[in-house]
Every structure is written in structure tokens, then in C-alpha cells.
């Protein structure tokens, strides 16, 4: 289907699912790359989806945080709902987690905790935190939360069986979500806790053959235990995954604080303990025998086949997507694995894989271990050969020094070949298993006695490392080559060289941090990660990377504080304001100049707000804001001067206010509450409040006036002076429109007026004088020139009242007569007549109205027939 969204140029498809397709697009007005998410057309059939999608997407667009994907635009075009988001090149955690070590995994969790902390304090809930919705950026390795709060259809397939009762992914769903209850930000923290468990243990905590059973386990089963070497994390898992939200971390910052309390030494010890359980016998943290691939390798891979001819045949590129193993029986094992059906309803075999995977080397396979040695030599040759400035070095020094020789012809019977990845220096290549070759095979390469010459050359390169850091990757290859041999001296030289490289990177990172050059420090960190599969295994490098991560965290938080400052969120809400962030940064780094400057900026903003309040006459409020500013910057000359001026104004105003308060009290005592205009208590109190809206004495005075008015109105109602009460209520409500007491009196007076209105209950029309008001009214009246009328009345005022009797034709188009009728007393019976002495009454319909004070009390229709 051709997609054409105005304002966007589709470049390519980034991904596709059941609900949406995501495109890489160019937003033409800004000429920037965006991720354009276009929802599936079938969602438009849901009457509520469109409104919910647009509303929630616009809300999410207000979330500005370095760990939350930014939403640029949202809309609908030709029935298709779309969302324009920040384009972030990277990979989701579901596929990337196998490449992360423990320290990196913890950084991911802390990044997402920061995102949830920010969103939670603003009242937003994600509802679907899981590895697929966490993106790890290629550029700075930052973790970003995706698909935040976007509306989902009511029949989400990944929810529980009861339609619409649970939104989320069952394996990462909180107990309250599983039960279909309302959720808050603590449900997101539970889901993040499940992510943490998966990163630590390598599998989800609860699994079953159906979504319902998984949900039940989240609600009822005990939290699983971590392996012994990860027990330092068990208290965190227990709290973040507590069944009761009240027992969990209440904010993301609380989770981060507990994660930060685990020292780098503890983290490294856990990593080493894990290796001691799963590592190949004899391997160590610097050995290239350690591997950590995902269980299903795809793309261009490096394949070493035993019994491969090693003549000077050129290396070839082989691209494929089948499982790969260096063990002799790997093909059979892979086939067997692929043949097994999935036992879980949603978890793939990749998801079931352990967090670390190691390939064991069987004793029977060691007869072919020389292949690994040759393979490493080819890596060295490939690196040096394809670097134009090092080609001569490879030919003149490295190749003859290593004694690379092979006499065996390829032969027609050779069924295998050596396939090299085009990225020969990638960490995946550096991690392949390298085992010393057995002696005595004339077809295998030999380590000559000139290897020390290569190490000597490496020392010369090491001397240039400071001025040319790019040499580090080449040095690492040489040092690893030395470690493969059988000479303990050469092995020690390789090991020392690798350790020296790690310290070089650690010192370089810390040096750039001390120089406040974050970009260069990040470049050194990226280089260290590319050279060493797990740079955090070296304590010095771990410390350096930790400092860099902390500095990056500080930078991100300072950016967030700047945003809070721009938004006016200076010291509230708690935990989500500029001042809290600046103080937190200074707790970690007391000398941080940007945080110190930020606190001074907050103080200045308090001064600006105080100035605005002072212009409105709110002196007391302005001084309270200045007190906040001066608490942060006690010696700020501008704030102190502003405070002195306001206090002087306040003293003058207070003296004037005391005079006005005495005047208002006198007016109130004299009964001049609302009248006369210009000399009453209400206006005097209002004058005080116009200058100081928080003046408690004036506010109390107004409350006293309101009570006086209420008392007066209640007296009028009790004396049945309802019209007077209505007038007093209207006047009082003009001054106190929010008074519930006055509103209640208004309703009561109206009810009483309705019950006590003058009424005419019975009216009779006849052609002769009426003697009995209770006689029945006939349909027609046989009148000639006079009609007789009688009526019964109630609730009239004492004394006399004058009604008007008006006679109309049946269509009320012509007034025929008007007669005054005088009644006495509040109730009684009255008779009168209407005459047409000349023309008389003609046949037809008529209507008579009885009116009091221009209000119609009774209307009666009748007909005259001769």
C-alpha cells in the first residue's frame, strides 16, 4: 500500500507489525530524519481508538527527557493515524541484551528508571515496559524508552483473555495489571524490575503456556531467587517486584539510588563469579577464548572448518543465516535444537537462552586447535594489509616473524574453505576461541623464535600510542597473538600488553574528564569497548567508565534541570523540579560549576517572580518568594535590595492598612455594611485586599460581613418578607458569588415565594348572577349583553388589592373589555360582571385573564351560544 503523509517523504521501512508500520522519513519543513509510525488501517474501525490515539499522543509529546523518545507530530490523513518521532539509530534491548555485560545492563536499567521517574512525577504511565520497547542507541549507548503512552486498541492481543481488562505484555505485567485494576507509575517500575531480572538471570521470572497462567503467576507466585553469585541484587528484585505497589519503590529515583549503592567491586566480583561457573576451563578475563554470542547467529560470519587446506588461497566472504559453532558436532546440535518445538506461547528460543553462552572445547577436538592460531594470524594480516600505511609492515615484519608457512596443497578433495568476515577487526572476531596448536604437524603454521621481535615492534608502536590512539586496536591483536603461543614469556608479554592498553584507556578517559572534554572521553570509551569485549573487567577501566557514565548522567540531569527552569518548575513538584536536580548533582559533585550556576539561576527566577507579584500589589507573597531566593543566594545584592525596598513598602502599607481596618470595623458596627456607596465596611475591606490579597484581618472582616448579611436575610424570610429577602440575597451574592450559604438561602426563598404567591383557585362564568362558587362550569354560556364572573383567591396581601379582568376574543387578537376588580383581605370570594350594552356578545369563543401587578394569575376559555 502506497503511503503518502503530507509534510513527510518516506525513505525506507524500518519495521512492521500487526498494529503499525514504522518508516524512516524526512520531515520536509525541517529537513530532518524522523521515525514515522503509521497505524494499521483496521484500527480506524474502533470508534474510540482515534480520539484516544490523538489525545494521548499529544500528551506524550510534552514529555521531554533524554531517555524518552521525543514525539514531534501526530495526526490523521486519509483515515490513517500517524505519529512522527525522533529517529534514533540503534537496536532494541530484546536483541541487544546478549551482548551486554552486567555493568552495561545495570546502566540500561538506570536509564529507563530515570525516564519512568520523570514521567511518573508528571502523572504518566507507560503500561508496557519490556525489552522490545527499550532502544539502545548506537551513538552514545544511551537507553531510550519507546512507545510511551500511545493508545492501544481495546482488544490488545497481548493482554489477558478478558477483552480490555489488561493492557501490556503478560511476561512483564504487574500484578495489578494482570488483575485488570487501575495502575500508576509503580506498575511501570514492576515491569522494569522484570527487565532487570531477565538481564541478570537470562530468563523471565514467570513463564507458562498461556497468558492467563503467566498473569496468575505474577499475582500469586513468590519472586524467583537469583543465582548465588547475583545475590547482591536479590533485595532490589524483591522490592521492585513486590506484589503490593505500596511495598515497591515509589519512584524511579529510589530504584536508581539502590542500584548505585552496589559498588563497582561488587559488580566485578559478580561478573567474575559468573565466569567461574560458565567459562571454558583455563580461560581468564584477558583470554580471547571467552565468547558471548547470541544463540542464533545471522549475517556475515566467520567459519573455520577442520581439515581446511591452508595454501596461499585468498580468503573468501561467506554470507549465510544458519547456526554456527566451532565444536565438531555443532551442526548436529543446531539441527536438533531447531527441530524442537517452542514450549512457551510467546517466548522464543532466543529469549530462553541464558545471559551468557560458552562453547566447550572437547578433548577430541583439540587435534584441530591449530586452526584458531592460523585464524588469528589471518586477522593480523587482514588488519595490517587493509591499512595502507601498514601493508609494508605486515609483509616485512609480521609475516616472516610469525613464520607463517603451509606446504599442504588445497587439492580437489578439500570440501571446506576459510570464510572471513569483511569486518575482520570486529569484537566478534577477537572473541573466537584460540587454542595452541599441537606440535609435529608439518602442515600447520609454526611460531618462530622471532616472535619477541614482533613484541619489540609493539613496544615501539606503544610509544606512539599517545599521539596516535588508533594503534591500540593493532596492538591488541599483536598482544593476543603472543598469548596464543606456548612460550610463557611471550604469553606474559601479551598479557602485560593488554593490561597496559586497558590502563591507557582508563587514564585517557579520566584525563579528558578532568579536562572537561566529554566528547573525547566518550571517544576513548567507545574505542575501549571496540578493542575489549568487556572493558569493565579491568578495575581501572571500570572506574573510568563508571566516572564517564556518572558524568553523562550529570549532563543529562542538568539538561533536564534547564528544562524545568524554563518551564517555571523551580522547587515543585517534589523530585521533578530544577532545584532538586541541582542539589542532587552537587551532592555527587560539590564542585560542579553548572549546578552551582543553576541554583543561582533558580534564585534569580524567584526574584523575577517576586517582582511580578509586587507589581500586582501582593507584597506579602513577593517577600515570601524573595525569602526562597535568598535562601539559595544569601549575599545576592539584587535580591537583598529588592527585599529592602519591598519591606519598606510593606511597612508603609501596613500602617495604612491598620487605619483602614479601624475604619471598616467602625462602619460595620454602625450598620454601614454595603451602603452607602463610598462609605461602607465592604468597600473598605476590599480596598485593603486590593493592596494585599492575603491580608488575614481584611479577609476575616469580609467573612464577618457575609455572616451579617446571612443573618439579615434569614430574618426577612422568617418574617415572610420574601420579596425583600430576594432583593437582599441578590445584592449579597454580587459581593460573595461563591458563598454556598447565600445560594442555599436563594433557593429557600424562591421555594417559599412559589408556595405563597397570590393564587386564584376557582373561576366561574355564567349568564346570570352567581350564588354558589362551587357550581360546575358549563361548556357554553347563553349570554346576551352581560356575563357574570366569580372566583376564589388566596395568599393576597392584607388590605385591598386591585386585579384587572381582561376579555379577549377566542384568538386573543382583539381585547374586548378591561374591568378593575377590587378584593379585600388575603383570601376570599369575589364576584363581578362584564357588559357589552350596545352590541352584546356575539356567538364564538372568548378568553378572560385575571391579572395582579401585570402578572396573570388565572386564564379561562369559554364559548357563547345564543
Q: Would the pLDDT of 347 be above 80?
A: no
User: pLDDT tens digit string along 537-576?
Assistant: 677 888 888 888 888 888 888 999 999 999 999 998 877 8
* Residues 857/803, Cβ–Cβ less than 8 Å: yes
pLDDT at position 490: 83
pLDDT at position 451: 59
pLDDT at position 249: 96
- C-alpha pair distances (Å), 717 with each of 724, 726, 797: 8, 9, 16
Name which of 209, 169, 212 is nearest 187 in CA terms. Answer: 169
Q: Would the pLDDT of 729 be above 80?
A: yes
Residue 580, number of CB atoms within 10 A of its CB: 21
pLDDT at position 716: 94
Rounded to an integer, the average pLDDT of 612-620 is: 85
Give the pLDDT band of residue 250 (cuts 50, 70, 90). Answer: very high
pLDDT at position 306: 31
Peptide bond into 287 cis (omega under 30): no
Between the ranges 263-272, 279-288, 416-425, where is the mean pLDDT highest?
263-272
Instruction: Using the Cα atoms of residue 696, residue 702, residue 705 and residue 707 in order, give the sign of their dihedral.
Output: negative
Name which of 419, 368, 402, 415 is nearest 477 in CA terms. Answer: 402
How many percent of the chain have pLDDT more than 70? 76
Q: Would the pLDDT of 159 be above 60?
A: no
- Helix, strand, coil shares of the chain, percent, nearest 5, are 50, 15, 35
Q: Would the pLDDT of 428 be above 70?
A: no
Higher pLDDT, 325 or 865: 865
User: pLDDT tens digit string along 662-682?
Assistant: 999 999 999 999 999 999 999
CA atoms of 478 and 379, how far apart (whole Å): 10
Rounded to an integer, the average pLDDT of 430-436 is: 32
Q: Would the pLDDT of 410 be above 50?
A: no
Q: Would the pLDDT of 597 be above 90?
A: yes
Q: What angle do CA 142, 143, 147 make, to 5 degrees?
A: 135
User: pLDDT tens digit string along 627-646?
Assistant: 999 999 999 999 999 999 99
Lowest mean pLDDT among 485-499, 775-789, 799-813, 835-849: 485-499
Give the pLDDT band of residue 211 (cuts 50, 70, 90). Answer: confident
Q: Would the pLDDT of 176 be above 60?
A: yes
Q: Would the pLDDT of 436 be above 70?
A: no
| Cα Rg, the chain, nearest whole Å | 45
pLDDT at position 702: 96
Between the ranges 86-100, 446-460, 820-834, where is the mean pLDDT highest?
820-834
Q: What is the DSSP letter of 159?
A: S
pLDDT at position 1: 63
Q: What angle do CA 7, 8, 9 make, to 5 degrees?
A: 135
Residue 199 burial class via C-beta count within 10 angstroms: exposed 0-12, middle 13-18, buried 19 and up: buried
Q: Would the pLDDT of 499 be above 60?
A: yes
Higher pLDDT, 103 or 700: 700
pLDDT at position 167: 55
Mean pLDDT over the full length of the chain: 78
Lowest mean pLDDT among 463-477, 502-516, 517-531, 603-617: 463-477
> Count of residues for the chain?
866
Between the ranges 151-155, 172-176, 585-589, where is the mean pLDDT highest?
172-176
User: pLDDT tens digit string along 190-210?
Assistant: 999 999 999 999 999 999 888
Specify the DSSP element, H or E, that contains 55: helix 49-60
Rounded to an integer, the average pLDDT of 505-515 is: 91
Give the pLDDT band of residue 74 (cuts 50, 70, 90). Answer: confident
Q: Would the pLDDT of 403 be above 80?
A: no
CA atoms of 226 and 268, how far apart (whole Å): 17
Give the pLDDT band of residue 840 (cuts 50, 70, 90). Answer: very high
Instruction: Using the Cα atoms of residue 241, residue 244, residue 247 and residue 253 in order, give the sign of their dihedral.
Output: positive
Coil, strand, or helix at residue 229? helix
What does the buried/exposed string (b/e) look like for 476-489 if buried means 16 or more CB atoms within 10 Å of the residue's CB?
bbbbbbbbbbeeee
Higher pLDDT, 157 or 221: 221
pLDDT at position 330: 34
Q: Which residues have C-beta within 8 Å of that of residue 218, sequence separation ≥ 6?
A: 170, 173, 174, 175, 178, 206
pLDDT at position 831: 96
The phi and psi torsions of 801 (rounded to 5 degrees) equal -135, 145
Sheet of 134-137: strand order equals 90-92, 134-137, 143-145
Q: Which residues have C-beta within 8 Å of that of residue 829, sequence separation ≥ 6?
A: 773, 790, 791, 792, 793
Rounded to an integer, the average pLDDT of 150-157 is: 41
Give the pLDDT band of residue 286 (cuts 50, 70, 90). Answer: very low
CA atoms of 561 and 580, how far apart (whole Å): 8
Coil, strand, or helix at residue 759? strand
CA atoms of 272 and 263, how far apart (whole Å): 14
Instruction: Using the Cα atoms of residue 112, residue 115, residue 118 and residue 121 in order, give the sign of their dihedral.
Output: negative
Q: Would the pLDDT of 51 be above 80?
A: no
Q: What residue ranges define each of the domains in the chain, with the CATH number in brackets?
A: 8-86 (3.30.200.20), 90-271 (1.10.510.10), 272-548 (no CATH), 557-632 (no CATH), 652-755 (1.25.40), 759-864 (2.60.40.2550)
Q: Would the pLDDT of 858 be above 90?
A: yes
pLDDT at position 687: 92
* Residues 803/821, Cβ–Cβ less than 8 Å: yes
Q: Which residues have C-beta within 8 Å of that of residue 560, sequence separation ≥ 6?
A: 65, 66, 118, 581
pLDDT at position 447: 38
The phi and psi torsions of 103 (rounded to 5 degrees) equal -65, -40
The answer to pTM > 0.75 is: no
Contacts 24+ apart (CB under 8 A), 563-572: 563/64, 565/598, 565/601, 565/602, 565/605, 568/605, 570/602, 570/605, 570/606, 571/602, 571/628
Pairing state between β 20-27 and 8-16: antiparallel
Q: Would the pLDDT of 377 be above 60?
A: no
Q: Would the pLDDT of 107 be above 80?
A: yes
pLDDT at position 511: 92
Higher pLDDT, 426 or 641: 641
* Residues 216/267, Cβ–Cβ less than 8 Å: no
Give the pLDDT band of residue 353 (cuts 50, 70, 90). Answer: very low
Lowest mean pLDDT among 54-63, 180-189, 260-269, 425-434: 425-434
CA atoms of 259 and 250, how far apart (whole Å): 15
pLDDT at position 558: 93
Amino acid at each position: 500500500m502506497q503511503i503518502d503523509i503530507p509534510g513527510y517523504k518516506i525513505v525506507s521501512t524500518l519495521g512492521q507489525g500487526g498494529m503499525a508500520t514504522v518508516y524512516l522519513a524526512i520531515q520536509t519543513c525541517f529537513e530532518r530524519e524522523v521515525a514515522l509510525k503509521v497505524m494499521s488501517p483496521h484500527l480506524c474501525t474502533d470508534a474510540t481508538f482515534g480520539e484516544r490515539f490523538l489525545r494521548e499522543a499529544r500528551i506524550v509529546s510534552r514529555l521531554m527527557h533524554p531517555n524518552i523518545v521525543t514525539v514531534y507530530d501526530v495526526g490523521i490523513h486519509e483515515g490513517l493515524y500517524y505519529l512522527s518521532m525522533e529517529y534514533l539509530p540503534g537496536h532494541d534491548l530484546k536483541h541487544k541484551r546478549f551482548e551486554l555485560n552486567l555493568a552495561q545492563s545495570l546502566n540500561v536499567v538506570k536509564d529507563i528508571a530515570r525516564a519512568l521517574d520523570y514521567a511518573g512525577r508528571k502523572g504518566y504511565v507507560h503500561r508496557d515496559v519490556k525489552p522490545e520497547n527499550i532502544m539502545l542507541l548506537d551513538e552514545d549507548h544511551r537507553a531510550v524508552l519507546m512507545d510511551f503512552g500511545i493508545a492501544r486498541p481495546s482488544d490488545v492481543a497481548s493482554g489477558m483473555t478478558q477483552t480490555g481488562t489488561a493492557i501490556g505484555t503478560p511476561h512483564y505485567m504487574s500484578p495489578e495489571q494482570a488483575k485488570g485494576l487501575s495502575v500508576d507509575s509503580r506498575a511501570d517500575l514492576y515491569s522494569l524490575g522484570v527487565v532487570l531480572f531477565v538481564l541478570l538471570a537470562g530468563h523471565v521470572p514467570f513463564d507458562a503456556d498461556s497468558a492467563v497462567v503467566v498473569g496468575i503467576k505474577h499475582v500469586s507466585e513468590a519472586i524467583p531467587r537469583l543465582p548465588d553469585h547475583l545475590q547482591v541484587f536479590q533485595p532490589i528484585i524483591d522490592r521492585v517486584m513486590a506484589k503490593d505497589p505500596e511495598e515497591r519503590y515509589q519512584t524511579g529515583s529510589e530504584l536508581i539510588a539502590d542500584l548505585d549503592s552496589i559498588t563497582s567491586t561488587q559488580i566485578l566480583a559478580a561478573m567474575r563469579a559468573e565466569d567461574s561457573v560458565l567459562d571454558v576451563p583455563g580461560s581468564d578475563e584477558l583470554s580471547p577464548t571467552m565468547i558471548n554470542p547470541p544463540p542464533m547467529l545471522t549475517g556475515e560470519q566467520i567459519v573455520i572448518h577442520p581439515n581446511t587446506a591452508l595454501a596461499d588461497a585468498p580468503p573468501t566472504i561467506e554470507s549465510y543465516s544458519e547456526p554456527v559453532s566451532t565444536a565438531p558436532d555443532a551442526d548436529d546440535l543446531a539441527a536438533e535444537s531447531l527441530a524442537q518445538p517452542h514450549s512457551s506461547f510467546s517466548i522464543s528460543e532466543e529469549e530462553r537462552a541464558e545471559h551468557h553462552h560458552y562453547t566447550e572445547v572437547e578433548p577430541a577436538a583439540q587435534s584441530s586447535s591449530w586452526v584458531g592460531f592460523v585464524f588469528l594470524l589471518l586477522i593480523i594480516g587482514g588488519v595490517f594489509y587493509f591499512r595502507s600505511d601498514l601493508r609494508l609492515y605486515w609483509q616485512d615484519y609480521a609475516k616472516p616473524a610469525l613464520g607463517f608457512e603451509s606446504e599442504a596443497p588445497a587439492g580437489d578433495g578439500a570440501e571446506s574453505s576459510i570464510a572471513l568476515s569483511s569486518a575482520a577487526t570486529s569484537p566478534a572476531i577477537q572473541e573466537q576461541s584460540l587454542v595452541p596448536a599441537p606440535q609435529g604437524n608439518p602442515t600447520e603454521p609454526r611460531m618462530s623464535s622471532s616472535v619477541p621481535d614482533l613484541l619489540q615492534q609493539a613496544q615501539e608502536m606503544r610509544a606512539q600510542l599517545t599521539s596516535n590512539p588508533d594503534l591500540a586496536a593493532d596492538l591488541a591483536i599483536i598482544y593476543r597473538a603472543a598469548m596464543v603461543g606456548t612460550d610463557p614469556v611471550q604469553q606474559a608479554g601479551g598479557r602485560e600488553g593488554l593490561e597496559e592498553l586497558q590502563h591507557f584507556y582508563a587514564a585517557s578517559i579520566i584525563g579528558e574528564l578532568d579536562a572537561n572534554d566529554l566528547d573525547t572521553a566518550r571517544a576513548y570509551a567507545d574505542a575501549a569497548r571496540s578493542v575489549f569485549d568487556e572493558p569493565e573487567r579491568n578495575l581501572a577501566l571500570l572506574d573510568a567508565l563508571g566516572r564517564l557514565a556518572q558524568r553523562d548522567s550529570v549532563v543529562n540531569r542538568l539538561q533536564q534541570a534547564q528544562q524545568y527552569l524554563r518551564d517555571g518548575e523551580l522547587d515543585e513538584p517534589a523530585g521533578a523540579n530544577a532545584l532538586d536536580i541541582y542539589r542532587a548533582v552537587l551532592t555527587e559533585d560539590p564542585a560542579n560549576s553548572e549546578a552551582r550556576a543553576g541554583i543561582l539561576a533558580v534564585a534569580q527566577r524567584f526574584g523575577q517572580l517576586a517582582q511580578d507579584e509586587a507589581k500586582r500589589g501582593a507584597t506579602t507573597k513577593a517577600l515570601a518568594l524573595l525569602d526562597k531566593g535568598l535562601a539559595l543566594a544569601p549575599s545576592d545584592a539584587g535580591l537583598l535590595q529588592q527585599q529592602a525596598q519591598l519591606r519598606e513598602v510593606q511597612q508603609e502599607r501596613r500602617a495604612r492598612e491598620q487605619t483602614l481596618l479601624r475604619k471598616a470595623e467602625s462602619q460595620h458596627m454602625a450598620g454601614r455594611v454595603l451602603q452607602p456607596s463610598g462609605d461602607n465596611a465592604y468597600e473598605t475591606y476590599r480596598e485593603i485586599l486590593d493592596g494585599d490579597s492575603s491580608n488575614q484581618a481584611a479577609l476575616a472582616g469580609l467573612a464577618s460581613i457575609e455572616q451579617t448579611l446571612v443573618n439579615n436575610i434569614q430574618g426577612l424570610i422568617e418574617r415572610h418578607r420574601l420579596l425583600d429577602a430576594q432583593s437582599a440575597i441578590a445584592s449579597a451574592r454580587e459581593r460573595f458569588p461563591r458563598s454556598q450559604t447565600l445560594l442555599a438561602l436563594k433557593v429557600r426563598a424562591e421555594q417559599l415565594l412559589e408556595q405563597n404567591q397570590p393564587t386564584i383557585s376557582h373561576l366561574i362564568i355564567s349568564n346570570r348572577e352567581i350564588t354558589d362558587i362551587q357550581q360546575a362550569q358549563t361548556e357554553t354560556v347563553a349570554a346576551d349583553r352581560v356575563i357574570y364572573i366569580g372566583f376564589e383567591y388566596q395568599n393576597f396581601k392584607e388590605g385591598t388589592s386591585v386585579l384587572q379582568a381582561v376579555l379577549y376574543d377566542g384568538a386573543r387578537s382583539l381585547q374586548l373589555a378591561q374591568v378593575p376588580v377590587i378584593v379585600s383581605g388575603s383570601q376570599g370570594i369575589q364576584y363581578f360582571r362584564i357588559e357589552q350594552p350596545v352590541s352584546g356578545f356575539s356567538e364564538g369563543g372568548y378568553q378572560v385573564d385575571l391579572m395582579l401587578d401585570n402578572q396573570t394569575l388565572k386564564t379561562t376559555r369559554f364559548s357563547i351560544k345564543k
